[in-house]
Amino acid sequence: MTTILIVDDDELFRTMLDAMLRSEGHQVLSAVNGTEALSVLESHAPDLIMTDILMPDGDGIELISTLNQQARGIPIIAMSGGRRAISLEFNLESAELMGVKATLAKPFTRATLRQAITDALHA
């Protein structure tokens, strides 16, 4: 069973993604931002991290950068819906340059989610 850490400040999205992942047989941990995710990682070792890019109090790019510096080796899927001033393409391309294993543009389908998880875990 795969343990996945969801990092997203949108409670409704986080809850929906949690339910989708659990229905696929995964164990789920969650955090509302990068700062909280780092705290979760002090006591848990997930197999995969799914992080939003734009969040207050520790965004996804900062989290990815910190994890790269720590050389934890946990595969990461970056997610973004963009914002008015910053496109989701820019966010996801930035994450790809930082070495994430897969990206998801919000909103995404269950099939796209499954494929991203497979790609990230087997990259």
The confidence score (pLDDT) of residue 88 equals: 63
Q: Which domain holds residue 80?
A: 3-121
State what percent of residues in the chain have pLDDT above 90.
Answer: 69
Whether the model clears a pTM of 0.85, i.e. scores above it, the answer is yes
The confidence score (pLDDT) of residue 62 equals: 93
- Alpha-helical regions (H) of the chain: 11-23, 34-43, 60-70, 88-97, 110-121
Domain count within the chain: 1
CATH classification of the domain holding 114: 3.40.50.2300
The confidence score (pLDDT) of residue 80 equals: 87
The confidence score (pLDDT) of residue 1 equals: 83
Over the stretch 69-109, which tens digit does the pLDDT of each residue have? 998 899 999 998 866 556 667 767 777 778 899 999 999 99
